[in-house]
Amino acid sequence: MMRLDKFLSELNLGTRSQLKKEIKAGAVTVNGSKALSPQQQIEEETDQVSYKGQACVYEKYVYYVLHKPAGVVSATEDAHDRTVMDLLGDGKRKDLFPVGRLDKDTEGLLLLTNDGQLAHNLLAPGKHVEKEYECCLASAFDEHQKALLEQGVDIGEKKLTAPAIVHRLEDKKITLTITEGRFHQVKRMLHAVGNEVTYLKRIRMGSLMLEDTLPRGNYRKLTKEEVERLQYDRSSHF
Ligand code: URA
């Protein structure tokens, strides 16, 4: 059960105060009858609500992929910096959160959802879901560094990092695929093998790739098929 004005504002149809006025003015029906009270309780998954003649379909969970630019933090709130939530604009649902974190200077794929179960599936180390990064490096990448990353490296924690998948793209550019999400993990892994990351971009999380057509700072909703694939994602390599 949920209040009618909250239900409508979660669908991004306006602010709570605008919607209250519109409900009182008769713009909303519930199961065919005009609803005149914003406090009216509705059953969000079964009641038929319409707003200005349009049926309102409630989505319990929502999923967005954002192309995070550098300079914004992946938090829901921050006292100093712009957050990834700010990039979603004003009409967004209040229960969204980023699935994991990217550093302030890291760009690329960030999922935003209100589905805690999916977030757990993608982040839990035991699920081994792959996160793939494109890394520009300060010095030339060599076979020795590759072999170390593939075995697992000491980044100053109890356990070595899990084996990574590494592809050398250019002299100073690689892709690195990992299944964990330790703090600053990619930067620390490259540091541990004697190199440094100068630019970092996440290009994939499980089955979801960051497409070239999604410009930096933009976002889109995931399709139903994309969400279903993420729900069953596991690493195929490890
Ligand atoms: N590893 C890092 O070092 N930074 C990120 O933002 C993500 C992974």
Please name the residue whose Cα sits nearest to atom 4 of ligand 1.
Answer: 184
Confidence bin at 238 (pLDDT 50/70/90): very low
Please name the residue whose Cα sits nearest to atom 7 of ligand 1.
Answer: 102
Where in the sequence numbering do the catalytic residues fall? 103
Return the CATH class of domain 2-56. alpha beta
What's the pLDDT tens digit per position in 68-115? Answer: 999 999 999 999 999 999 999 877 788 899 999 999 999 999 999 999
CA angle 187, 192, 193 (to 5 degrees): 105
From the CA of 169, how far away is ligand 1's center (Å)? 19
Q: Which two tokens stand for residue 235?
A: 């690493």
Measured CA distances, 214 to 69, 154, 220 (Å): 11, 35, 8
Q: Is 237's pLDDT higher than 80? A: no
Positive or negative: CA dihedral 76, 81, 86, 87: negative
Q: Is 30's pLDDT higher than 50? A: yes
Residues with CB under 6 A from ligand 1: 102-103, 106, 184-187, 200
Distance, CA of 130 to CA of 147 (rounded, Å): 19
From the CA of 207, how far away is ligand 1's center (Å)? 19
The answer to whether the pTM exceeds 0.95 is: no
Q: Which two tokens stand for residue 209?
A: 């790739």
From the CA of 70, how far away is ligand 1's center (Å)? 12
| pLDDT at position 73 | 97
Mean pLDDT of 188-202: 98
From the CA of 62, how far away is ligand 1's center (Å)? 25
Strands 197-205 and 107-113: parallel
Strand 28-30's sheet: what is its strand order? 33-34, 28-30, 49-51, 54-56
- Other Cβ atoms less than 10 A from the Cβ of 178: the count is 23
Mean pLDDT of 55-68: 93
Domain ranges in the chain are 2-56, 63-231
CATH of domain 63-231: 3.30.2350.10
| pLDDT at position 89 | 83
Q: Is 173's pLDDT higher than 90? A: yes
Most ligand 1 atoms within 8 A of CB, residue of 133, 189, 191, 196 to mutate? 133
Distance, CA of 119 to CA of 35 (rounded, Å): 36
Chain mean pLDDT for the chain: 93
